[in-house]
């Protein structure tokens, strides 16, 4: 199916749909409206009322759909609505005929502005071409600058790493200095304690010496007491010895007088000899 030299439907279904759209009724409704016999309309007599028969016939012929397409007043998208819009456009065009001179002047002004814009565009094109040429000439320098930028970024990252390492080393140095100060303080305490310990050792030696001196003094005192006792005993022994010597001198006379005492004299002589020996021993001590 063609219209104004253009194909608007190229299949049976599409042609039927297009005809239904143009006629406003289906194929069955078209057949009923044009080929229904007089005798086939006898059933309409059974429908009471002219209004009901008119409504039924309109439905049978598809007029209801045509009325719906034509549309009620104010309904958008219908034939009546499109016709009103076209009428308003015609009125607007008719009213704008008086403004042709103003429109012509505006067109000329816009054409002048367009020419100026085109001239500016050509000038800008020239500037753009020059800029492109300059950009092309600067591309090696740009590449070199980009390489320098990459090297700088690399060096900057290395610098940041070195800064971090330096900060860590500074922290370690601070810790070592603190440890050194602590060790110096400990060494000073140790030196002070060493002096105190040396004084204590010296005092302990002095105490030991004093204890020894005390023991010596005690022994000396004991010896002195013993010497006094021994001197007293020696003195007694010497007195006894003197008595015995005197007795020894008078012993022969006594023996001559009394032979009975001879044994007693012998015992007394032995006692005298023992005392003499004991007295000599004490003198040696």
| For residue 17, pLDDT beyond 50 | yes
Question: Which position has the token pair 């500016």?
Answer: 120
Residue 251 burial class via C-beta count within 10 angstroms: exposed 0-12, middle 13-18, buried 19 and up: middle
| For residue 233, pLDDT beyond 60 | yes
Closest C-alpha to 279, from 231, 245, 243: 231
Q: How many residues does the chain have?
A: 285
What confidence category does residue 276 fall into, taking pLDDT thresholds of 50, 70 and 90?
Answer: low
Closest C-alpha to 266, from 280, 249, 251: 251
**Can you give the pTM of this predicted structure?**
0.27
Q: What is the reported pLDDT for 175?
A: 92
Tell me: the pLDDT tens digits for 145-190? Answer: 889 999 999 999 999 999 999 999 999 999 999 998 989 888 888 8
25 and 65 in contact (C-beta within 8 Å)? yes
H-helix or E-strand containing 223?
helix 100-257
* Whole-number Å distance between alpha carbons of 107 and 101: 10
- Which residues on neighbouring strands pair with residue 261, listed in sequence order? none
The Cβ-side half-sphere exposure at 116, using a 13 Å CA radius, reads 6
Written as six digits, the tokens of 210 are 């004093």
Name the least confident of 29-43, 104-118, 126-140, 200-214. Answer: 29-43
* Whole-number Å distance between alpha carbons of 28 and 8: 23
C-alpha distances in angstroms, 121 versus 127, 236, 240? 10, 160, 165
H-helix or E-strand containing 92?
helix 79-95
| For residue 225, pLDDT beyond 70 | yes
Name the least confident of 4-18, 125-139, 215-229, 256-270. Answer: 256-270
Written as six digits, the tokens of 183 are 């060790």
| For residue 204, pLDDT beyond 70 | yes
For the segment 194-220, the average pLDDT, to the nearest whole number, is: 79
Written as six digits, the tokens of 88 are 């308003």
Q: What is the reported pLDDT for 174?
A: 92
* Whole-number Å distance between alpha carbons of 119 and 282: 157
* Whole-number Å distance between alpha carbons of 280 and 272: 12
For the segment 199-228, the average pLDDT, to the nearest whole number, is: 81
User: Using CA of residue 84, residue 86, residue 92, residue 95, what is the dihedral sign?
Assistant: negative
Give the start-end residues of each E strand in 11-146.
none
| For residue 283, pLDDT beyond 50 | no
| For residue 41, pLDDT beyond 80 | no
For the segment 216-236, the average pLDDT, to the nearest whole number, is: 82
* Mean model confidence pLDDT for the chain: 74
């Amino acid at each position: 199916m063609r219209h104004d030299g253009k194909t608007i439907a190229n299949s049976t279904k599409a042609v039927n749909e297009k005809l239904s759209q143009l006629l406003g009724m289906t194929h069955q409704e078209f057949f009923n409206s044009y080929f229904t016999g007089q005798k086939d309309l006898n059933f309409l007599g059974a429908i009471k009322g002219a209004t009901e028969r008119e409504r039924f016939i309109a439905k049978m012929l598809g007029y209801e759909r045509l009325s719906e397409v034509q549309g009620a007043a104010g309904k958008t998208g219908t034939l009546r609505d499109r016709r009103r819009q076209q009428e308003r456009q015609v009125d607007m065009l008719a009213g704008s005929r008086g403004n042709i001179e103003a429109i012509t002047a505006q067109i000329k002004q816009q054409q002048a502005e367009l020419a100026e814009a085109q001239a500016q565009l050509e000038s800008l094109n020239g500037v753009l071409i020059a800029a492109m040429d300059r950009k092309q000439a600067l591309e090696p320098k740009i590449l070199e600058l980009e390489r320098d930028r990459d090297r700088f970024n690399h060096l900057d990252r290395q610098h940041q790493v070195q800064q971090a390492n330096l900060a860590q080393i500074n922290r370690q140095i601070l810790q070592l200095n603190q440890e050194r100060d602590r060790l110096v303080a400990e060494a000073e305490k140790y030196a002070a304690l060493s002096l105190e310990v040396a004084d204590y050792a010296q005092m302990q030696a002095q105490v030991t010496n004093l204890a020894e001196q005390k023991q010596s003094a005690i022994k000396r005192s004991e010896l002195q007491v013993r010497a006094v006792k021994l001197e007293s005993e020696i003195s007694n022994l010497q007195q006894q010895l003197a008595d015995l010597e005197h007795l020894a001198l008078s012993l022969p006379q006594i023996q001559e007088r009394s032979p009975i005492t001879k044994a007693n004299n012998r015992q007394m002589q032995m006692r005298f000899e023992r005392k003499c020996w004991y007295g000599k021993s004490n003198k040696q001590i």
